[in-house]
Structure 1
Amino acid sequence: MTTADAVRGRLRPGRLLPLGAARDGAWVTEEAARAVLLRAAAGVPGIRLERVRIGLADPEGAAPFAVPPPPSALPPGPLRISGECTVGAGAVRPLPALASALREALFAAADAVDLVVSAVDLHVAGVHEDEAGAPGSDRGRGAAPVEGTAAVEGPAGTAAATAPGVSRLTAVLGTPVHLASAHVRVEVAVARGHRPLDVVRAVRTAVGGALADGRPVTVLVTAVDGEQAP
């Protein structure tokens, strides 16, 4: 792997978004969240989500970190989804109804994976004629994880890997378990049918119990597999 490939791999997950409240000590990669939103949007007929970004709705009003965050993570606070979409040439519903349906689907999908979203902004960029994704669009991206399964090492890794709802450990930021003197960070993928915050809490409890040294445990979710529990 070249240096350029390594840099691209580190950038692809996008922003690290706060998951739940500050006290949850959890983040999710923008790429993982985007995959969930695109799956939800694909179920809304007549309108197609082409690109989507997620960021803080009010950066100035974000809460302070309650635990040591991952590098470059966004602080806890409500999120804003910004999407670009196209309308089907044969759509029978009026544009406002289509946009409203897509907005509702995105709100519901975000809530199902414990993202606190206060706003969904949609921009209609044009009309699409076929079902294939436009060149350069986000459609179809994110369905495959950006990382493989990472090796399980040490008691913290074993505890995290066997926590309920964890499908695998990952290594987007370099290692699945980062042990610092004052905190621990763990990267996981969430298994199908489990809510991310339930998994995060299970991981924090398991890793904290395995280490038994009082260090706070931060969890980064890098993939959310399939559909989630309501």
Structure 2
Amino acid sequence: ATAKPVTANPLTEAQKAAIAAARASNPVSRTASAKPVNKKSVVIKTQWADDADGAEDLPPAKPVRCDFCGTKVPTGATKCPDCDTAVNVPSAEEAKPSWFRRIGLVLVLILALVAAGRWGQYYLSLRTKEGKGGRPLKDAIELLTQKLEAQPGTALFFVRGSVTNHSAVPWFDVKVECELLDKNGVSLGKFSDSKILLEPHKLFPFNISLLDPDAKSYTNLTVTAVR
């Protein structure tokens, strides 16, 4: 026996309308259809893609596929180039970094560098500076000159000289002290001259009076100060 072909009845207008309404309400549920003959792939080229600098900043975009047929969707396209299904594809413009964010990042970096420089200067100012051979540099109070002078017309003597402040900060209670000796080298006691405040890079001309008439010389001249 030979099987006779069975011809399917054509769809009615009501059936066609119901199928179209179902596809419109749920485009994912429809079956895959044949690829349109004259349909061409649509590729949208954005202006940001032409920017070489921006392209270097952006990470490689993850490929997006159509939920209905699985075809790769070009960046920026709103429909699948194969089945014409609407898809949600993030555009390249959305991934472009904000200029406000970039400027804010630059400002934060500049402030961080300035703060680091300030801290470095403060830290270096607290460190003990050394010169050649490991010897400390002059960075504080230093005795520049000292000598024993007689007061003209009197029998009095004075120890005169100068002290300077090499540092960039003031020093307080600067005191120059020496021990007086008689003609036999016996100590007659200690005498001093002081200054309450010595400004940075300023001089203190001290003047120690040898009030004892037996005093003929001095020794152990020292300089002390408080920072």
TM range (shorter): under 0.3
For the pair shown, the structure with the greater C-alpha radius of gyration is 2
Of structures 1 and 2, the one with the larger relative CO (CA 8 A, separation 6+) is 1
